[in-house]
């Protein structure tokens, strides 16, 4: 092992290394499946059939993909600024509170105003909750990683308090808000596509998916085609050069964290406005953490993030179907796969680059 960075061609760096590490992660998952006495081949078949074998399955897959696109992009934007935002869960939680308040308080407004305002509220809530750790790092020197971890817990207790004591549905056993008005929710995809003659089964997939696709394009344009994105990448790659270029790293840290938080807010838009139509406790359900895996696997590029989000969508939906047939393989398998992918594509990146580099050398030697 040497300290010299391993130089790989671009295609290998962007494509082969993530592929190899994902393959290795799935291999580990396969071993776990074997370990609990099931056949990985059968599990894979069931999983793929469940995720992609029917229109309903595909719809569910894309619904999950929506969540991962948002949380993955949130982590990716922060990465480009050299920051590690582990606070996606907390930012989405706060965004959920903002969405719920907007939908409940602004209910008298017509849908055409209410829906965009509620989406903006989600973005603002997430942005604010991302901005504060950014501001603390930029001006007070406290590290974003620790602050966002602590902020996740603070957001969770805050939402418990609000749901139990303040905005909870009176008389409900569950901690939840009353259901939003019909015009305050996002259109389900099957209703959206019905006028076009497309008949889809009723699933949670809703117009937030289109918003997620738009976010992919927008983040791509931001990072690779805008002046702000240029500044963000400069700060992330070389803060000293950024200062030399007249770019203020402190300002960029705050801006990038706010954008990252706003993107995490997309999770609330999909779940709260699109699916549950009310605010529930813990609706973030770990999507924020899987977003780290999505961003790492996607190498921070929107195309990669989109593909990685789709993979996790397949795993989530397929995993849900799989656990029907094989109760011993619960959806937590996806969490394991996410963890292993983070380990392989993130922390052990050096090892996998080495593996790919030796593979290429071996291949070209023959």
Partner 1 sequence: MTEPPRSAVKPAPAIELIGISKRFGPVQANKDVALKVAAGSIHGIVGENGAGKSTLMSILYGFYEADSGEIRVSGTARKIRAPGEAIAAGIGMVHQHFMLVETLSVVENVVLGAEGGAWLKGGLARARAELARLSQEYGLVIDPDAIVGDLSVGLQQRVEILKALYRGADILILDEPTAVLTPPEANQLFCLLRALKAQGKTVILITHKLREIMNVTDRVSVMRRGEMVAHVKTAETSPATLAEAMVGRRVLLRVEKAPRQPGPAVLEIAGLSYVDGRDCETLKDVSLTLHAGEIVGIAGVAGNGQSELLEALAGLIQPSRGVIRFNGQILNAAERNPARLRKLGLMHIPEDRQKAGLVTAFSAAENAILGYHDDPAFGPGPFLSHAAIEAHARAAFAAYDVRPPDPALKTAKFSGGNQQKIVLAREIERAPKVLLVGQPTRGVDIGAIEFIHRRLIALRDAGVAILLVSVELEEVMALSDRILAMCGGRITGERAAETADERDLGLLMAGVSEAA
Partner 2 sequence: MEWVQTIAVVLDSAVRLSVPLLCAALAGLWSERAGIVDIGLEGKMLIAAFASAVAAFATGSAWAGLGAGILASVMLALVHGFAAITWRGNQIVSGVAINMLAAGLTVILGNAWYGQGGRTPALEGPARFPDLTLPLGTWAREHVPVVGTFYDEVVSGHAAPVYLAFGCLLLTALVLKRTRFGLRLRAVGENPAAVDTAGISVAGLRYGAVIICGALCGLGGTYLAVSQSAGFLPHMTAGKGFIALAAVIFANWRPWPALGACLLFGLLDAVAIRLQGVIMPGLGQVPVQAIQALPYLMTVILLAGFIGKSTPPKASGLPYVKER
Residues that bind partner 1 (CB under 8 A): 4, 221, 225-231, 233-234, 237-238, 240-241, 243-247
Q: How far apart are CA 289 and CA 68, in angstroms?
A: 10
Question: Which entry of partner 1, partner 2, none binds 115, CB below 5 to 8 A by partner kind?
Answer: none
Q: How far is the CB of 56 from partner 2 (least distance, A)?
A: 25
Q: How far is the CB of 10 from partner 1 (least distance, A)?
A: 9
Segment near partner 2 (CB under 8 A); pick from 220-228, 268-276, 327-335, 357-365: 327-335
Q: How far apart are CA 72 and CA 93, in angstroms?
A: 16
343 binds partner 2 (CB under 8 A): yes
Q: How far apart are CA 130 and CA 179, in angstroms?
A: 27
292 binds partner 2 (CB under 8 A): yes
Residues in contact with partner 2, counted by CB under 8 A, come to a total of 54
Q: How far apart are CA 92 and CA 162, in angstroms?
A: 15
Nearer to partner 2, 155 or 208 (CB): 155
In contact, 222 and 73? CB cutoff 8 Å = no
Exposure on the CB side of residue 57, measured as CA atoms within 13 A: 16
Nearer to partner 1, 217 or 245 (CB): 245
CA 351-357-358 angle, 5° bins: 90
Q: How far apart are CA 118 and CA 131, in angstroms?
A: 19
141 contact partners, CB below 8 Å, separation of at least 6: none
Contacts of partner 2 in 241-270 (CB under 8 A): none
Indicate the angle between helix axes 302-325 and 332-341, nearest 10 degrees: 150
206: β partners = 188
Q: How far apart are CA 217 and CA 269, in angstroms?
A: 18
Contacts of partner 2 in 30-59 (CB under 8 A): 32, 35-37
Q: How far is the CB of 158 from partner 2 (least distance, A)?
A: 7
Nearer to partner 1, 140 or 240 (CB): 240
Q: How far is the CB of 219 from partner 1 (least distance, A)?
A: 14
In contact, 151 and 289? CB cutoff 8 Å = no
Nearer to partner 1, 44 or 238 (CB): 238
Q: How far is the CB of 132 from partner 2 (least distance, A)?
A: 9
335 binds partner 2 (CB under 8 A): yes
Question: Which entry of partner 2, partner 1, none binds 65, CB below 5 to 8 A by partner kind?
Answer: none
In contact, 338 and 71? CB cutoff 8 Å = no
φ/ψ region of 17 (left if φ > 0, alpha if ψ in -120 to 50, else beta) reads: alpha
Exposure on the CB side of residue 151, measured as CA atoms within 13 A: 27
Q: How far is the CB of 36 from partner 2 (least distance, A)?
A: 4
154 binds partner 2 (CB under 8 A): yes
Binding site for partner 2 (CB under 8 A): 1, 3, 32, 35-37, 84, 86, 136, 140-143, 145-147, 149-151, 153-154, 157-158, 160-161, 164-165, 286, 289-290, 292-293, 296, 327-330, 332-340, 342-343, 346-351
């Amino acid at each position: 092992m040497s300290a010299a960075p391993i130089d790989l061609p671009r295609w290998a760096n962007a494509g082969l290394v993530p592929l190899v590490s994902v393959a290795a992660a799935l291999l580990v998952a396969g071993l776990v499946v074997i370990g609990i006495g099931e056949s990985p081949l059968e599990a894979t078949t069931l999983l793929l059939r469940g995720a992609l074998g029917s229109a309903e399955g595909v719809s569910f897959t894309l619904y999950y993909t929506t969540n991962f696109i948002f949380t993955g992009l949130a982590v990716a934007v922060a990465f480009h600024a050299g920051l590690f935002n582990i606070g996606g869960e907390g930012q989405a939680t706060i965004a959920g509170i903002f969405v719920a308040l907007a939908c409940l308080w602004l209910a008298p407004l017509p849908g055409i105003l209410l829906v965009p305002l509620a989406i903006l509220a989600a973005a603002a809530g997430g942005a604010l909750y991302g901005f504060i750790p950014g501001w603390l790092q930029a001006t007070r020197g406290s590290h974003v990683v620790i602050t966002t971890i602590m902020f996740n817990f603070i957001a969770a207790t805050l939402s418990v308090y609000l749901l139990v004591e303040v905005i909870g549905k009176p008389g409900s056993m569950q901690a939840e808000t009353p259901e939003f008005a019909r015009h305050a929710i996002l259109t389900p995809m099957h209703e959206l596509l019905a006028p076009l003659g497309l008949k889809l089964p009723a699933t949670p997939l809703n117009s937030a998916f289109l918003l997620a696709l738009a976010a992919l394009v927008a983040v791509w344009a931001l990072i690779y085609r805008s002046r702000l994105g240029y500044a963000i990448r400069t700060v992330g790659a070389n803060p000293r050069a950024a200062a030399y270029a007249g770019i203020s790293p402190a300002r960029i840290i705050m801006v990038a964290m706010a954008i990252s938080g706003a993107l995490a807010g997309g999770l609330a838009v999909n779940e709260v406005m699109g699916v549950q139509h009310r605010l529930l406790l813990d609706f973030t359900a770990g999507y924020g953490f899987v977003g780290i895996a999505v961003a790492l696997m996607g190498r921070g590029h929107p195309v990669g993030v989109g593909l990685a989000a789709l993979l996790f969508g397949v795993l989530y939906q397929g995993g849900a179907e799989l656990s029907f047939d094989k109760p011993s393989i619960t959806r937590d398998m996806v969490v394991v796969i996410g963890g292993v992918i983070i380990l392989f594509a993130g922390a052990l990146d050096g090892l996998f680059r080495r593996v790919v580099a030796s593979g290429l050398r071996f291949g070209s030697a023959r």
